[in-house]
Homo-oligomer: A and B are copies of this chain.
Amino acid sequence: MPKNDALGALMAHARETTALEQVAGRLGWDQETVMPRGAAGQRGEELAAIEGVLHARRTDPRLADWLAAAEPPDDAGRAQVAKIRRSHDRARRVPARLAQEIARVTSLSQGLWAEARAQDDVAAFLPTLAEVVRLKREEGEALAGGGCPYDALLDEYEPGMTGAEAAAMFDSLRPRLVALRGRILGATRRPAALSGSFGTEAQLRLSRELATVFGYDFSRGRIDIAVHPFSSGSGNDVRITTRVAESDPFNCFYSTIHEVGHAAYEQNVDPGYLLTPIGGGVSMGVHESQSRIYENQLGRSQAFTGWLLARMREGFGEFGIATPEAFFAAVNRVQPGFIRTEADEVHYNLHIMLRFDLERALIRGELEVGDLDAAWNARFLADFGVAVDRPRHGMLQDVHWSVGLFGYFPTYALGNLYAGCLHSALRADLPDLDARMAAGDVSAATGWLREKVQRHGGLYAPREVIGRACGFEPAAGPLLDYLEAKFGAIYGL
């Protein structure tokens, strides 16, 4: 076959596969936002069917011929072909039966997890979780071909990263984080927390305004409510969800800003890559770097919280926090808590380390599901100095394992590390950023990220896109420097 025909056939095939991946993703969005509860069983079959279709396409034997013959003319073409090759190689290792079984089981187990969490009933969830772990171990082993099954799963979310590299990253973060945490908990300053009740409608209005401020394009997206906020879709249909608790408006606002970070990455990829293998975010770590920098380095900055305080006063009246400094401290209050998604920037990565060690042990067969609850609780007590009081505050808190996302958690920490690097670099490029953010204008920063990171989609490898954007090799230092400076100031260390 002529080389250009091979490339054309490859790209046409990939385009349809990408479109079908969008369809499958939207079924997930539907399930979490609008699906009638009685549809769960049927939905499992639907997801399994589309997963079967995707698996068949990714293992299509014609791909091998096209891949052998295709000669892409440029970097983008080479990146496309590399993505297709990777997807083909991985899919061929996983039997179709296993891929469909995982889709079916995880679709159902998500509902069972939600119910078990609501009931604080670990025992009710264990049989399902054991089934999921068994299937994901099997998948990891099939993918690894004799190598480490956990590495093979992690590679799905963070191409090129191994468990050993993740462990090294945590080693580079842990000592200074633990020391900072100790100094903060020993400090005499204790910032006041927000208190009072904040109406749902006003929260959602301000949440939409925040989405707009951070560049979310509503004409190509929408915001709904979900138990566990997420972003879904790529290109011209990128939807986010948020949640509302009347006692805690920061949860709503920062969930929204966080998901807008993810969504902006998908919305801002070069339109020429639409519905192609490089038309979305390149890895979960880079994805999380965008959500984290939007949420934390920008959204929780002293400059931006000053603007947010004024908007909250307009929306809710006075609420007992007198100064911008006190508000900034309340937004960034450090406190050991059970829940990862509510964790402050200092504790967050400690939550991830716990999950990383446990899930890696689960997949490698060094920990059994029946021992997970005890292992979680022991580790939590050791790291956080507090005993888990109920399973929904412990091993039942996260959706991830129920839907088979093993190897996903480390990408959150990697995203934090990358966000630290990007923040250091963009601050150097944008000396007047604080003055703009104090006026509610974050567009210089989001524009920098769009130009340096987001528009490239999957053109470069994950570490490469971050390194190119920053002008230096990604490392833990910038994040740790930022955290020590920010929380040192807040806590007077």
Contacts and interface: CB of A to CB of B under 8 A. Distances in A.
Interface string A19-50: 11011001100100011111101110110111
Provide the main secondary structure of the chain A interface: helix
A42 B218 contact: no
A220 B38 contact: yes
A35 B275 contact: no
A235 B274 contact: no
A239 B36 CA distance: 9
A188 interface: no
A443 interface: no
A9 interface: no
Contact of A49 (B23, B43, B219, B239): B23
A208 interface: no
A217 interface: yes
B16 A52 contact: yes
The number of times this chain is found in the oligomer is 2
Contacts of A221: 36
Contacts of A37: 219
A42 B15 CA distance: 11
A222 interface: yes
A38 B236 contact: yes
Interface in A298-339: none
Contact of A220 (B26, B39, B45): B39
Interface residues of A, number: 38
A49 B20 contact: yes
A218 B38 CA distance: 9
A144 interface: no
B34 A222 contact: yes
Given A16-B52, A30-B30, A53-B53, A22 B46 contact: yes
Given A26-B27, A34-B222, 11 more contacts: A19-B50, A23-B23, A23-B46, A36-B218, A36-B237, A36-B239, A37-B219, A39-B220, A41-B236, A42-B237, A43-B237
24 contacts: A19-B42, A19-B46, A19-B48, A20-B46, A20-B49, A20-B50, A22-B46, A23-B50, A26-B30, A34-B34, A35-B237, A36-B222, A36-B236, A36-B237, A36-B239, A37-B219, A38-B236, A38-B237, A39-B220, A39-B236, A39-B237, A42-B237, A43-B237, A45-B275
Please list the 4 inter-chain residue pairs (A to B) with the smallest Cβ-Cβ separation, ordered nearest first.
A39-B237, A19-B49, A38-B220, A38-B219
